[in-house]
Amino acid sequence: MAMATMMIMTSRMMNISPSSSSSSSSSSSSPPLATQSLSAPTKPPANNLPLRTIPGSYGWPLVGSIPDRLDYFWFQGPDTFFRSRMEKHGSTVFRTNIPPSFPFFVGVNPNVIAIVDCKSFTHLFDMEIVEKRDVLVGDFMPSVKFTGDTRVGAYLDTSEPKHAQIKNFATDILKRGSKVWVDELLGNLDKFLDTIESEISKNGSSTYLPHIQTFLFNFLSKSLLGADPAVDSDIANSGAFYLNLWLGLQLLPTVPLRIIQPLEEIFLHSYTYPFLLVSGGYQKLYNFIEQHGKEVVKRGQNDFGLSTSEAIHNLLFVLGFNAFGGFSIFLPSLFNTIASDQTGLQARLREEVRKISGSTTRLGFDSLKDMELVNSVVYETLRLYPPVQLQFARARKDFRLASHDSAFDIKKGELLCGYQPLAMRDGKIFDDPESFKADRFVGKGKELLDYLFWSNGPQTGTPSESNKQCAAKDYVTLSASLIVARMFQRYDSITGDSSNFTAVEKAK
């Protein structure tokens, strides 16, 4: 239960990317860094739109943020919070407050300009007009003690020299890991599925959330760090738990759990928890990388000019916050989407997978090239349930922001907050936006990938040192597609929901 609770609290972040091999061999797979050749969406010319004052207000100084805080955490929840204000102001761009805030976080400014449509959202990725220094989760920043007194890459702006070093280090980690990525993914996935089958046989159902995290921790440690948790019994047994606690304590002040109020407000959102509570587990993870991930750490030192501690703390952040945390949120959404479907989607997925790869052929990234439906299901799940709900950026200078129908003047220093679940339901971009459409991104629908922003940039974009797009965005989507493909090689059908599998029918 503790691990599952911490998973829910990490629903803000993610970072992981891939190249190719034949479908019969995967050990040399290395996913393509740009899976589509489509160009990124261009922002509409603001001078052709009517200029409008940004609606909304921040209320009275200090106390004005309290009603917004209570709505966000307690009375409404994030989705209703943003929808109701969009409808009230008749605008997809408006002023509001995002917690944490006064009276418990005096040094945090909750004032933001909310953005909830696709076209406005693109401004968050334009590094000429916005900066990303220390705004990963808004104006609030967890203590750097959680990352060894190091500002890791996720908190750096592209203008900071260290950003290029760390972004290139992350890209190098992925290239190195691509040699074993597919084998480790599929090998640990099969162990995960074996466990699910065994529990269903014994108990009639399997709560898969803890098993997902064991699968992810082992697969990601070996692929990203080149370190096998099996060499350290404590890390093998408790590594995922240590990461969950570390993630959860950092995010507690920002994440609405919607459990028992007012206890949640009193005990979870009223103050930050000290790093001391998780320092022991974090140090064990640090030592594990230092001892068993030496090759990767040395690359960070010799090839990218990082100190030993900088390399290890950034590796831990990539492993825990971006990869482990992101997949831990996304995969349950993907499993629930497929396992609870009543429209015949599973039969269509099964037919496509077996037509292209059979039921026993070893899968690789090349296997996915013609699996349009499999890939579309992954994209559509990311559209409706993005692992990172909020994207923040601070205006680097004065500029004019354009939505679909209006232009707005933004002043230097103002904080922009994009709420992705609403932006990804933009009816001017996506047909029937509230519905899950499995084949939305099939054929000509691939053009909509220009507007799929889960990775801090469009799916058609290319991560580089000059932007903040997830270095591993392609690894995420291709890995998820491989998981779906392998499941429908192995099973004819899967039944379950967002936390449990209740039945699996093996392939005949």
* Nearest Cα residue to 422 out of 172, 82, 44: 82
Question: How much of the chain is helix, strand and coil, in % rounded to 5?
Answer: 50, 10, 40
Could you tell me the CA-to-CA distances from 232 to 218, 237, 402 in Å, in that order?
A: 12, 9, 53
Which two tokens mark 370?
A: 């013609």
3-state secondary structure 102-164: CCCCCCCCCEEEEECCHHHHHHHHCCCCEECCCCCCCCCCCCHHHHCCCCCHHHCCCCCHHHH
Nearest to 175 by CA among 398, 353, 16, 402: 16
Residue 203 backbone dihedrals phi, psi, to 5 degrees:
-115, -10
Determine the residue type at 326: G
- Residue ranges of the annotated binding site for heme are 470
Q: Distance between CA 20 and CA 367 in Å, rounded?
A: 9
Question: How many C-beta atoms surround the C-beta of residue 344 within 10 A?
Answer: 9
d(CA 220, CA 188): 10
482 phi/psi in degrees, rounded to 5? -65, -40
CA gap 143, 150 in Å, rounded: 10
Q: Is 299 helix (H, G, I), strand (E, B) or coil?
A: helix
Beta bridge partners of 393: 416
* Buried residues in 54-64 as b, exposed as e (16+ CB within 10 A): bbbeebeeeeb
Q: How many CA atoms lie within 13 A of 40 on its CB side?
A: 17
Phi-psi map region of 155: left, alpha, beta (phi>0 left; psi -120 to 50 alpha): alpha
Residues that constitute the known binding site: 470
Phi and psi of 187, rounded to 5°? Answer: -65, -45
Q: Any idea which residue has 């890390």 for tokens?
A: 235
The CB density around residue 118, as the number of other CB atoms within 10 Å, is 27
Angle between helices 325-339 and 345-357 (to 10 degrees): 110
Distance CA 416, CA 111 (A): 9
